[in-house]
């Protein structure tokens, strides 16, 4: 009889032990779920995929509308060799500027200098296409070669277009990708007229040799 009692007690102890393990595991899981839910709620962890995030036109930077034909219809993309380009490296990766320079040269853009230069900062986030009112369509044409570039208009009076390579740069778009853009220039959504851009105030252009 004593043996049966010992066996029953052992079974009870075993069951209690298993229950303690189950409760401990359940408690740990609940704690992890609670912490994860808190991180998601406070947006420390973002479950929203990048593909569904809203990207503002021109990454939130106001840009001018492209010049139009006399009848108001969109103009065709200008030939690459009509765009005079200066490449500036805005990253800490040495050689990146010259790599982009050579590729743009291979695409028959007219290079304003013998090689790429360095921008005033090596911590530029997004690639910038910087231009004045004389080269708006050229800037649009150059920008379509990049998947990460924003158009930035300043007060330069000439036709020089700067490419400032930023840390978001990965590679130039392929010819196949650019053919999807069609034959005519498409305005950036929400673009402004040149007069509107001037009213808002244009940034000062850096000193440079003027390009006709």
Q: What is the pTM of this model?
A: 0.74
Question: How many helices and strands (H and E) does the chain possess?
Answer: 5, 6
- Taking the C-alpha atoms of residue 161 and residue 31, their distance in angstroms, rounded to an integer, is 56
Return per-residue pLDDT of the chain as tens, 212 residues.
Answer: 555 555 566 656 657 766 788 678 877 777 766 766 666 566 556 565 544 456 788 999 999 999 999 999 999 999 999 999 999 999 999 999 999 999 999 999 999 999 999 999 999 999 999 999 999 999 999 999 999 999 999 999 999 999 999 999 999 999 999 999 999 999 999 999 999 999 999 999 999 999 98
Give the separation between CA 61 and CA 197, rounded to whole angstroms.
11
Q: How far apart are CA 162 and CA 182, in angstroms?
A: 24
């Amino acid at each position: 009889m004593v043996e049966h009692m010992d066996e029953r007690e052992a079974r009870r102890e075993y069951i209690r032990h298993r229950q303690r393990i189950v409760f401990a595991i359940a408690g740990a899981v609940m704690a992890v779920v609670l912490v994860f839910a808190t991180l998601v709620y406070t947006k420390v962890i973002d479950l929203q995929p990048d593909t569904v995030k809203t990207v503002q036109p021109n990454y939130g930077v106001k840009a001018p509308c492209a010049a139009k034909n006399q009848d108001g219809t969109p103009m065709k993309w200008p030939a690459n060799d009509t765009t005079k380009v200066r490449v500036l490296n805005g990253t800490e990766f040495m050689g990146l500027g010259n790599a982009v320079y050579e590729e743009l040269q291979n695409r028959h853009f007219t290079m304003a200098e013998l090689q790429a230069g360095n921008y005033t900062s090596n911590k530029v986030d997004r690639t910038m296409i910087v231009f004045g009112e004389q080269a708006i369509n050229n800037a649009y044409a150059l920008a379509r070669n990049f998947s990460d570039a924003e158009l930035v208009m300043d007060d330069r009076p000439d036709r020089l277009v700067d490419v400032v390579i930023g840390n978001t740069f990965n590679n130039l778009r392929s010819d196949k990708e650019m053919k999807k853009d069609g034959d005519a220039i498409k305005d950036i959504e929400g673009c402004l007229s040149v007069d509107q851009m001037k009213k808002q105030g244009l940034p000062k252009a850096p000193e440079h040799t003027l390009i006709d």
